A and B are shown apart, each in its own frame.
Chain A
Amino acid sequence: MTHVLDPTAAGRPVTTGAPDAFADVTRSDSAFRAFLHGLPGVDQVGAEARAAQLGTRSIKTTAKAWAIDTAISMVDLTTLEGADTPGKVRSLAAKARRPDPTDAGCPAVAAVCVYGDLAGVARDALAGTGIHTAAVATAFPSGRASRAVKLADVRDAVEAGADEIDMVIDRGAFLAGRYLDVFEEVVAVKEACGPAHLKVILETGELRTYDAVRRASWLAMLAGGDFIKTSTGKVSPAATLPVCLVMLEAVRDFRDATGVQIGVKPAGGIKTTKDAVKHLVMINEVVGADWLSPDWFRFGASSLLNDLLLQRQKLRTGHYSGPDHVSVD
């Protein structure tokens, strides 16, 4: 099948490196730094207030049912533990296909996200379902390895069957101000991905400021990332609403400037249906309904899916459900 993220299918030419409009900003380290530091600053208080205010919307009944199904279809069902086994990945894949075995109307999730060495297991278990196999690579989660090792990691995951690669940026280089190094690394990883789609993890919990999040977002988008992703899930704080707001504004501004649409994936710390619905509200208000699809927005989560299923069962049966009525991961 055509990959839902296929850039040619979406009318996006396959390119590496910055789009034409921004080709010159990456010509040198100083030019790139000047560009990134020239991005408008983020009003921290304003961003947090706006995120909090959008979080107060009340979504009920039919709108809630739609939101829950949409959120389920956006989940990247994730297991990133040292103790992962092929059996656990297969059981996760089974859950990805039929999240609620008692209800055939429940949508499947968007992807299963695993470590690269288990990508083959996931791909085989998901064959023919349209559910994507995502693999983390580039020395996830720290990103502390040489570029050669990172690129080998990516090629390995792609060969194993991953059609989406979640890479981590080199936060050390980013915080040290070596933006062009980080940029070139993302470009190289994008090339190594080949047909697979690239999600760039910014690890916003380590970037300290919203200004840095905005710069990292632009860096990743200019370098050819198909998605920008908040976190690895291994660092706290992970995805927060204000960070997601800043990233959504970045993809909105990027599309306005270049015509290229980039996806957003908050990951880590989103555990409840209420959190997920807040994100959906924010997408609709900040970037519009164009992003309200699994092609352009994903939730990186493991425990979120069970809470979505409990809420879905509550709407279906009229009474509260309990953790005995969903599978234990």
Chain B
Amino acid sequence: MGFAFHRPETIDAAIGLGRQHGEAARFLAGGTDLIIQINRRRLAPQHLISLAGLGLDGISETPTEVVIGAMATHDAVVSWPGFQKELLALPQASAVIGGRQIRNIATVGGNIVNASPAADLVPVLLALDATVDLSGSTGSRSLPLDRFLVERGRTERRPDEILTTVRFAKPPAASATWFLKAGRRKAMEISVICVAVHLVQNGKARIAIGAAASRTVRVPEAEALVEKQGLSAFREAGQIAADKTTPIDDVRASARYRKLLVAKLVERALAACADRIERADP
């Protein structure tokens, strides 16, 4: 299990190390999944390149945009004061990732790049139409998160690229987000299903679901129905989401239960968003 540990101080240095060692290297963010994979011998990188010293752990807001550094921890998301109203789903999701010790070290970027279909924060970011920013040896680029995610454990990131930030437009005042998770216990739990919904009054609807397919997915058909018919379509939207997703049977849950959860949790999350918008409306 021997590996060399690198702690670069600039993004360029980190990218250089990434290019130099290629497939033999792994970037290390919080390490809450990577180290487990190494310990279980599923991965055996010869180089670990720490991203801790690159200044990527900030969260910032402009009048129109929210920018979260890839190395921001889930604990930082939970305590960021700007995530209380329309963006409540962000701390809702980050607050139920692992346990306290994990949230204190696991990062937003790690949650995205790890590309687990059960990642809790990813559906929220998908529902917010987030964009990811990447830096690599050939320069920087940005991609919609929806395009960045490919399948379980796979993204569009090239081996020498670092995810630096994730950003999304600030939602309007008459909007809401909501996150729901189902699992066997109340902490230290990998989602059996997780659901994030973003609803704008008389505007767009976004429905994103985790642990129901080979990657976190949106359900455009259900979104379109809600945008057209509003409140009356919530139940049907849930059913469409269940029909369009392809969960698996595994030791955590059956596909049948997961489908049931998708249908009901989507409906519940949509209703919660509608309720918040209504309450906030003077």
A, B: real partners: no
